[in-house]
Amino acid sequence: VGRVELMMAAFTGVGAASSNGFDSRAASCTRRRASRTTIRMAEELGDSTDKPGPLTTMEWAKVWFDNIRQTYVLKTDDKNAPQASGEIAELQGAFPFALYKYFMKLGAVYTLAFGPKKFYVVSDPVVAKHILRRKSLLYDKGMLADILEGIMGKGLIPADFETWKKRRRAIVPGFHEAFLNRMIRTFSDCTTRMKSRINGEMDRRKGSVVLDLEAEYCSLALDIIGLAVFNYDFNSVTSMNPIIKAVYRMLQEAEWRSKFLIPIWNVEPLNWVVPRLRAFREDQKLLNDTLDDLIELAVSSKSSEDLEQLVQRNYDNVNDPSLLRYLVDLRGEEATCAQLRDDLMTMLIAGHETTASLLTWATYLILQRP
């Protein structure tokens, strides 16, 4: 299987929005394109179950050369998948809308090429299942995982397969019914706080306010994740503190690294010379220290219980209903503080911006068809 970067773009359905509502002809055409692409990809992928080894430097060079040749010379993909070429700037700010535009034009599976970097964008459920479930070991996590490893360590996203299996087995039961029911209250409390701030601003401006919904949802998601995952109130809906700024700067750094051709951050001396890399190290230290303090506090009040006992806890009457509390108290769970920090950092960094993007996209679609 050719090693490519994979970006999963999830859409609510196959179809097209027009001024007159749902365009069934466009939807039918898109479905036919998606079906043809799905069949072709399945045939190309085959039934191999051998896990490929890591790419060598020469193999990476060949991948980049092939990507440039296919993008600028052949104008086609070696799997004959539709190709979208453009500038990175097209995807900034309104990322889902840009992907949706390509989706309507090219179908449910296409390549997105930027110079030597190429991604498959997948919104076809059959292909997504093939990649994520049926043949997941055939696919490298790619550039994004390499970039995020410096931020998330051995968290769920960049982790190797064995670490991922172990951590997933420990974390998933934490999202049990009692915990989720308690989190609904957290969602409500945080949303009410955001609503109160917006209403107050509307009163001050006589009812006329322009909102950046994605920014609002980013703050909301950050507050919710902080409370739900490690019982820390960022209160970013109403204020901005150094920790919140560090989170956003780290996200911006990850985005910048995904576009930069040469991974200069892997050259250790440059991390102390280049201003942006040095600032990243400082932000990372601030976040790591904060999470370490929260983990130390949780460990110091550890109360070991079996999974069944934790599931039956009355989460409405505990001071700390967070996922961190669950992981620390779970009997038999021997994760190191470093691993716990990586898990928390992954949920913090990867969780809140993606949630905000999804909420923004959902709000847009609801407003299109109220």
Q: In this predicted model, what pLDDT tens digit does every residue of 179-209 receive, in sequence order?
A: 999 999 999 999 999 999 888 888 888 767 8
CA atoms of 350 and 348, how far apart (whole Å): 6
Average pLDDT in the chain: 77
Give the pLDDT confidence score for residue 11 in this predicted structure. Answer: 32
Give the pLDDT confidence score for residue 88 in this predicted structure. Answer: 53
Whether 108 and 127 have beta carbons less than 8 Å apart is answered as: yes
Tell whether the model's pLDDT for residue 3 goes beyond 50: no
Give the pLDDT confidence score for residue 25 in this predicted structure. Answer: 41
Least confident of 137-146, 204-213, 316-325: 137-146
Give the pLDDT confidence score for residue 31 in this predicted structure. Answer: 45
Closest CA to 199 of 207, 187, 211: 207
Whether 48 and 1 have beta carbons less than 8 Å apart is answered as: yes
Phi, psi angle pair for 134, to nearest 5°: -70, -45
Of 23 and 346, which is predicted with more confidence? 346
Give the pLDDT confidence score for residue 181 in this predicted structure. Answer: 92
User: Tens digits of per-residue pLDDT, 16-52?
Assistant: 332 233 333 443 444 445 445 454 554 454 444 555 5
Q: Please state the rounded mean pLDDT for residues 3-13.
A: 34
The CA-CA-CA angle for residues 161, 167, 170, to 5°, reads: 145
User: Tens digits of per-residue pLDDT, 277-306?
Assistant: 899 999 989 988 998 999 998 888 888 888
3-state SS class at 236: coil
CA atoms of 69 and 48, how far apart (whole Å): 27
Give the pLDDT confidence score for residue 188 in this predicted structure. Answer: 94
Q: Quote the percentage of the chain above a pLDDT of 70.
A: 76
Cite the DSSP H helix spans in the chain: 24-45, 57-69, 95-106, 125-129, 142-152, 161-171, 177-204, 213-230, 242-259, 270-273, 275-300, 307-311, 323-329, 337-368
Residue where the block lists tokens 């079996």 = 306
Termini Cα distance of the chain: 44
User: Tens digits of per-residue pLDDT, 221-276?
Assistant: 999 999 999 899 988 888 888 888 888 888 888 878 776 767 788 888 888 888 98
Residue where the block lists tokens 């691993």 = 339
Give the pLDDT confidence score for residue 192 in this predicted structure. Answer: 94
Give the pLDDT confidence score for residue 18 in this predicted structure. Answer: 29
Phi, psi angle pair for 113, to nearest 5°: -115, 135
Give the pLDDT confidence score for residue 282 in this predicted structure. Answer: 92
Of 344 and 6, which is predicted with more confidence? 344
Q: Both tokens of residue 243?
A: 């920790």
DSSP string, 32-45: HHHHHHHHHHHHHH
Give the pLDDT confidence score for residue 4 in this predicted structure. Answer: 35
Give the pLDDT confidence score for residue 91 in this predicted structure. Answer: 60
Give the pLDDT confidence score for residue 94 in this predicted structure. Answer: 61
Give the pLDDT confidence score for residue 92 in this predicted structure. Answer: 58
Closest CA to 198 of 185, 186, 211, 189: 211
User: Tens digits of per-residue pLDDT, 77-94?
Assistant: 666 778 776 555 566 556
Which segment, 61-70, 119-128, 221-230, is predicted with the most confidence on average? 221-230
The domains of the chain, with CATH numbers, are: 5-140 (no CATH), 171-368 (1.10.630.10)
Q: What is the pTM of this model?
A: 0.74
Give the pLDDT confidence score for residue 90 in this predicted structure. Answer: 60
Tell whether the model's pLDDT for residue 154 goes beyond 80: yes
Give the pLDDT confidence score for residue 223 in this predicted structure. Answer: 92
Whether 233 and 227 have beta carbons less than 8 Å apart is answered as: yes
